[in-house]
Amino acid sequence: MPALIVVNTPADWPFALRGVDVVSARQYLTDPAFNAMRDTRVINLCRSYSYQSLGYYVSLLAEARGHKPQPDVITIQDMKSVGLSRLLAEDVDELIQRSLRTVRGNQFTLSMYFGQTLAKRDERLGGKLFSLFRTPLLRAHFTRRDKWLIQSITPIPADEIPESHHTSVVEAANRYFAHRTRFTRASRPAKYDLAILVDPQDPHPPSDELALRRFIRAAARAGIAAELIGRDDFSRVGAFDALFIRVTTAVDHYTFRFSRRAAAEGLAVIDDPVSIARCTNKVYLAERLTLGRIPVPQTVIVHRDNVDELIGSLGLPVVLKQPDSSFSRGVVRADTEEELHVKVDELLEESDLLVAQRFLPTDFDWRVGVLDGQPLYVCRYFMAKGRWQIQGQSAQGNTQYGRVETLAVEDAPRRVVALAVRAARLIGDGLYGVDLKHSGRDLYVMEINDNPSIDGGYEDKILKDELYDKIIQSFVRRIEKIRNGVTTRARE
């Protein structure tokens, strides 16, 4: 993948790097030749990234042209927000404390040149921050109170790099560009590269090892090189053409940062960040489904001022859900008025809003997998033995699951499939698992999952390899649309 360094004035750029062209910001923005370039990495080293400056427009138009800018517009905005910078860096808090424990004084500044630091002591911290804030020349300011905190993250203008650091900058840049070539498509026979994000520590992974092996084989059949990556591979995301997240997602989780980064880099992404944000919040789903005229159980958005109205509205038992609950965690049932108040108080400690729904006892939930707005598979998830949910904890603390029955889409009730598809289309065109319940003659959508389970021998029982092929072919279509300048997005 060719690389361009874009600066305000090339004559002021003091470094000579192997195999990298240096152009002015104005030339990059106005010369039609750059408009026509494909698969180009744009290293934006302009003096300022302030809104509507040349530096801002370099990253903005690079994204519009299908190039891969560093920093991208999302990173530029992240660096402007002290609160967000601190939030993103919470992931590395332990590393910050360990790396800076020998620093004297209460202020410290760390400079990172293409992910490299001058002192070996800071090497891991610098690499981690660079993976979070993909900016080639980066400076982090720390202050110590009870512990070390990030005060700000800022780019370093080239003219502020001390001359004594110039040799280190050139060495770091040359290593960086040499490293990047190891992951480009030119070194592989495959047509495209797919990263599959997994986490061995995920207690409820959406795909087991058998399913992951089947995804990799399906990718190979489609001419795609698929590779399992983990949370420490954040800096490599831009080297792939697509990202498939097979870790339980949440907005305040590294999976969301991977998704945002991949989308900003121009990758095809499942789960895309908009779908994660929408599906992982039960308050949003309740509002969206209601406005979309999708039948849902009688629902109340709970806050501290309307708790006393719940029993009159919903009766008992009532089901309470934290906005970001998943896999039955953060979902509780209250059978009495006393229990209701206790559980509401506990859940409102974590969130200002909750979702309360009328309890609908059933033997099983329907799950319809929807991909690209079309049904992919249908399952019945039965309740765990002696439970009212599809999973529960035994007295020994082990997770218990109910049995699963998989049906061909054409053999499932038509109204179940049709309602699931209609609900999923309100969220986007990604891969979703829509949960539904029958109550008497009525059918209700319970929730929409952006990260549905696909395990070997369960969801794939009917389609077998075809299920994996369909998902991989969706990635192929998405990659080719992006390359042709047609982007997919979540529906408004």
Domain containing 343 — which CATH number? 3.30.1490.20
Segment 194-219 mean pLDDT: 94
pLDDT of residue 132: 78
pLDDT of residue 384: 74
Of 365 and 92, more confident: 365
Last residue of a domain, one of 290, 325, 359: 359
* 186: confidence class by pLDDT, cuts 50, 70, 90: very low
Candidates 316, 295, 464, 314; CA nearest to 376 is 464
Lowest-confidence segment of 87-96, 272-281, 361-370, 437-446 by average pLDDT: 87-96
Last residue of a domain, one of 181, 209, 235: 181
pLDDT of residue 489: 46
Residue 166: strand pairing partners = none
Does pLDDT of 466 surpass 90? yes
Q: What does the CA dihedral 31, 36, 37, 41 come to, rounded to 10 degrees?
A: 70
Q: Are residues 164 and 252 in the same domain?
A: no
Interval 212-244: pLDDT, tens: 999 999 999 999 999 999 988 887 888 899 999
Q: Is residue 480 part of a domain?
A: no
Q: Are residues 66 and 199 in the same domain?
A: no
Q: Are residues 40 and 135 in the same domain?
A: yes
Q: Is residue 405 part of a domain?
A: no
Q: How many CA atoms lie within 13 A of 203 on its CB side?
A: 8
pLDDT of residue 394: 54
Does pLDDT of 198 surpass 90? yes
Backbone angles phi, psi at 192, to 5 degrees: -135, 165
pLDDT of residue 87: 58
Q: Are residues 12 and 64 in the same domain?
A: yes
Segment 325-351 mean pLDDT: 81
Q: Are residues 61 and 40 in the same domain?
A: yes
Q: Are residues 232 and 177 in the same domain?
A: no
Max CA distance (Å), the chain: 77
Range of the domain at 345: 298-359
Q: Are residues 197 and 337 in the same domain?
A: no
Whole-number percent of the chain with pLDDT over 70: 90
* 187: confidence class by pLDDT, cuts 50, 70, 90: very low
Q: Are residues 214 and 309 in the same domain?
A: no
Contacts of 302 (CB under 8 A, 6+ apart): 310, 320, 344, 348, 353, 354, 355, 356
pLDDT of residue 458: 95
Does pLDDT of 326 surpass 60? no
Q: Is residue 385 part of a domain?
A: no
pLDDT of residue 85: 57
Q: Are residues 58 and 157 in the same domain?
A: yes
* 185: confidence class by pLDDT, cuts 50, 70, 90: very low
Lowest-confidence segment of 147-151, 174-178, 300-304 by average pLDDT: 174-178
Interval 112-134: pLDDT, tens: 999 899 999 999 999 888 887 88
* 138: confidence class by pLDDT, cuts 50, 70, 90: very high
In 156-302, DSSP assigns E strands to 192-197, 224-229, 242-245, 268-270, 299-302
Q: Which residue has the tokens 């480009």?
A: 184
- The CATH number of residue 266's host domain is 3.40.50.20
* 179: confidence class by pLDDT, cuts 50, 70, 90: low
Whole-number percent of the chain with pLDDT over 90: 48
* 13: confidence class by pLDDT, cuts 50, 70, 90: confident
pLDDT of residue 184: 39
Assigned token pair, 173: 């840049």
Distance CA 1, CA 38 (A): 9
Does pLDDT of 67 surpass 90? no
